A and B are shown apart, each in its own frame.
Chain A
Amino acid sequence: MDAIESAFADGPAFVPYLAAGDPDYDASLEYVKALARGGADVIELGLPFSEPVAEGPTIQAAVNRSLDAGMTPDRFFAFVEELDVDVPLVCMTYYNLIYRYGDDDAERPRAFVERAAKAGIEGFVVPDLPAEEADPLREACDEFDCDLVFIVAPTTQGERLDRIMSRVSGYVYVQARLGVTGAKANVSEQTGQSLDRLAEWDVPKAVGFGISSGEQAGEVVAAGADGVIVGSALVDIVAEGHEADEDAATVADRLEAKARELKDGAVAGAQRTPRPERT
């Protein structure tokens, strides 16, 4: 589990998201590699679930394209094995896929984590798993040396915040605003307040939800984030390429350029406002 924390050690981390297999397996492999070339420090790879309730329309559509193209948990693991990128990979999915994985006598959710770790996954984000129900997954993650990332909403507080703090590792996913995923024009002012509440947490804070430009990435980092998570703005590029029937290499180039813009923006944000040392 050191790989993810290390990725946050040298300046602000850029954490892009793509749904694995969107719009199809082979193109998606190229797209994820392009993100790595563009400067990704950690990559969140979506394992598509049929009911993506935490996602806005952009990622929901990506999930559906991937499912229509035949993505399954086992193909996802094959995908991760084939990727072979030098960037830590986090699997973002919903709990039912984790819970159901394995044959009848499989130990759940251990079987999923074991298989994922073997494929090269270093951590998990599970938006529909509350911290209260997360102990079995946390134990499996510990056994296989994986991180478990939790999402903290602007409204999360009190005991729930403490429960998350005691179970989170790798990084904490700070939701920049209420709602579901989706690119937005302005970075919410809730971001700064959210980061303040987590100032004492001994884990990197990555801000996501609504970040779509290098400028915004810089603002978020200047506000104190240790990293930026960007999904919908990248998925938009995949969707546009798919709709225009462009070849994968062209779309990959565009993704790489966007990734570089976001990474550079984050770095510039750190230079603009000196960040306090993380203890």
Chain B
Amino acid sequence: MPAIEELTDAYERYVLDNEDGFVDEFRDRLRDFGGRPTPLQRAERLSERYDTEVYLKREDLLHGGAHKLNNALGQVLLAKYMGKERVVAETGAGQHGTATAMAAAHLDMPCEVYMGETDINRQRPNVFRMRLNGADVTPVTAGRGTLKEAINETMRDWATTVETTHYVLGSVVGPHPFPAMVRDFQAVISEEARRQIREQTDGLPDSVLACAGGGSNTMGAFAAFLDDEDVSLHAVEAGGSSLTVDEERGVAPNSASLSTGGEGVLHGARTRLLQDDDGQILESHSVSAGLDYAGVGPELAHLVESGRVRAVNVDDDAALAAFHRLSNMEGIIPALESAHALAYLERVAGLDGPATEGSSGKPRDEAHDDLGDTVIVNVSGRGDKDLETVIEETDRREIEEAPEMDVFTEGL
């Protein structure tokens, strides 16, 4: 694995030590090409609904519509500094793929993106965008054709072409230095949010919420708050349709590896994984393609184990409801990933699910005990890519906040 040694060396020199002004160029490009800083917006109606000051970190307004550009731009630029001729990437929901394709076009670098066939079918707009930016999109048919298989295939490509190619890994997973490097590129989210909340409220938030699949936006949203011990950090995972594993089929109908997984080794990292008793990796599931991964970043797993970060989860229905709620209450259509983090507000307030005693529309006192008076939610991306999924899934479920979907589904 000299590739890993070469990358570690490049990470230390360019990212940590700013050799040749790498970090300066990265920041300039994030500003001019990416559109940073993104706003930290007080959500008026959500604040009223939850009787809590809710602030949204608007990564959906970053160029490309998701936080993924922070990392993709950083890594493609790093590949340039390393003298590589080509980049490869894996993608689940397609946001990392589109971000990598955009960054590669911007920096004039050939780009190939591996994507599971299932994900290609449920994220077509992102496939088009990658192609428009000049990237090759290669379907992966193995397994269930989702992110896990795409990662395997990208690793195989990289193993074959390592001398000329950099692997732009899309999350805080894989072997060192990837988890640390991706976190550093994403940390701009919490660096900005921390400064912005102080400007707006003269203080720090009580809580920060971020959805967690692989964990890149999670680590990005938490990084600058890790030393602020009074700020509680919540990683919201995809509870899918159930937290119970289907042992017979080898499927976990969720992607909640922090909440329900066990310790193991996958893709070059020791972390928490969805696996069976033998250590075989389970197929995960989430209505959100971007969260659909059986593992999670090792540093995030460690932060959960040490108690610094609390791992929670919400199910597919709750995420869909939150998607519609933010769309019609605040005029922001969030990525299904981000909708998980938003759904947790509802959960804590005791407003999710059918009305029961104690959830009559008024927040419970314990909501404040849990999240406090000021909450930042990382809106990791925008939901345009998820519209087809949301329309189909909403149509076959009962989601209270949702408008009628049959007007759309006729055309699908």
Question: CB within 8 Å of B: which residues of A?
Answer: 49-54, 56, 60, 64, 67, 72-73, 94-97, 99-101, 128, 130, 153, 155-158, 160, 178-180
B203 CB to nearest chain A CB (Å): 43
Q: Would you mind naming 9 contact pairs between A and B with Cβ atoms under 8 Å apart?
A: A50-B280, A51-B152, A97-B278, A99-B279, A156-B2, A158-B2, A160-B2, A179-B159, A180-B159
Contacts of A67 in B (CB 8 A): 280
B139 CB to nearest chain A CB (Å): 14
A138 CB to nearest chain B CB (Å): 16
Contacts of B279 in A (CB 8 A): 49, 73, 96-97, 99-101
Contact yes or no, A99 B265, CB < 8 A: yes
Contact yes or no, A96 B2, CB < 8 A: no
Contacts of B322 in A (CB 8 A): none
Number of contacting residues on B, CB 8 A? 29
Q: Which of A49, A64, A158 has most B Cβ within 10 Å?
A: A49
Contact yes or no, B280 A97, CB < 8 A: yes
Question: CB within 8 Å of A: which residues of B?
Answer: 1-3, 5, 142, 148, 152, 155-156, 159-163, 175, 250, 262, 264-268, 273, 275, 277-281
Chain A residue, CB-CB nearest to B282 = A50
Contact yes or no, B265 A51, CB < 8 A: no
Contact yes or no, A56 B266, CB < 8 A: no
Contacts of B5 in A (CB 8 A): 158, 160
Known: A54-B159, A130-B268, A160-B5. 17 other contacts (CB 8 A): A49-B279, A51-B266, A51-B281, A53-B152, A53-B155, A96-B266, A96-B281, A100-B262, A100-B275, A100-B277, A100-B278, A100-B279, A101-B279, A128-B265, A180-B156, A180-B159, A180-B160
Contacts of A54 in B (CB 8 A): 159
Contacts of B3 in A (CB 8 A): 155
Contact yes or no, A53 B281, CB < 8 A: no
Contacts of A160 in B (CB 8 A): 1-2, 5
Contact yes or no, B142 A99, CB < 8 A: no
Contact yes or no, A155 B162, CB < 8 A: yes
Contact yes or no, A49 B159, CB < 8 A: no
Given the known inter-chain contacts A155-B162, A160-B5, A178-B162, please indicate yes or no for A96 contacting B156, CB distance below 8 A: no
Contacts of B159 in A (CB 8 A): 54, 178-180
Contacts of A56 in B (CB 8 A): 156
Chain A residue, CB-CB nearest to B281 = A50
Contacts of A100 in B (CB 8 A): 262, 264, 275, 277-279
CA distance A64 to B142 in the complex (A): 10
A266 CB to nearest chain B CB (Å): 26
Contact yes or no, A157 B142, CB < 8 A: no
Given the known inter-chain contacts A60-B142, A100-B278, please indicate yes or no for A51 contacting B163, CB distance below 8 A: no
Is chain B's interface secondary structure helix, strand, loop, or mixed overall?
mixed
B189 CB to nearest chain A CB (Å): 30
CA distance A156 to B5 in the complex (A): 10
Q: Which of A49, A50, A180 has most B Cβ within 10 Å?
A: A50
Given the known inter-chain contacts A60-B142, A178-B159, A179-B159, please indicate yes or no for A73 contacting B152, CB distance below 8 A: no
CA distance A94 to B277 in the complex (A): 15
Counting from the closest, the 7 A-B pairs by CB-CB distance are A100-B279, A179-B160, A96-B279, A50-B280, A50-B281, A97-B279, A155-B2
Contact yes or no, B264 A155, CB < 8 A: no
CA distance A100 to B281 in the complex (A): 11
Contacts of B264 in A (CB 8 A): 96, 99-100
CA distance A94 to B1 in the complex (A): 16
Contact yes or no, B280 A156, CB < 8 A: no
Contacts of B175 in A (CB 8 A): 130
CA distance A60 to B279 in the complex (A): 17
CA distance A258 to B155 in the complex (A): 31
Contact yes or no, A157 B280, CB < 8 A: no
CA distance A95 to B148 in the complex (A): 17
Chain B residue, CB-CB nearest to A99 = B265
Contact yes or no, A72 B278, CB < 8 A: yes
CA distance A94 to B280 in the complex (A): 10
CA distance A227 to B273 in the complex (A): 37
Contacts of B250 in A (CB 8 A): 50
A150 CB to nearest chain B CB (Å): 11
Chain B residue, CB-CB nearest to A76 = B278
CA distance A180 to B152 in the complex (A): 11
Contacts of A94 in B (CB 8 A): 265
CA distance A128 to B152 in the complex (A): 12
Contact yes or no, B265 A178, CB < 8 A: no
Contact yes or no, A178 B160, CB < 8 A: yes
CA distance A130 to B268 in the complex (A): 9
B266 CB to nearest chain A CB (Å): 6
CA distance A153 to B161 in the complex (A): 12
A239 CB to nearest chain B CB (Å): 15
Contact yes or no, B1 A156, CB < 8 A: yes
A145 CB to nearest chain B CB (Å): 24
The one of A53, A99, A155, A157 in contact with B267, judged by C-beta atoms closer than 8 angstroms, is A53
CA distance A180 to B148 in the complex (A): 18
B187 CB to nearest chain A CB (Å): 26
CA distance A128 to B160 in the complex (A): 15
Contacts of B281 in A (CB 8 A): 50-51, 96
Chain B residue, CB-CB nearest to A68 = B250
A99 CB to nearest chain B CB (Å): 6
Chain A residue, CB-CB nearest to B268 = A128
Q: Which of A51, A54, A73 has most B Cβ within 10 Å?
A: A51
Contacts of A50 in B (CB 8 A): 250, 280-281
CA distance A44 to B264 in the complex (A): 24
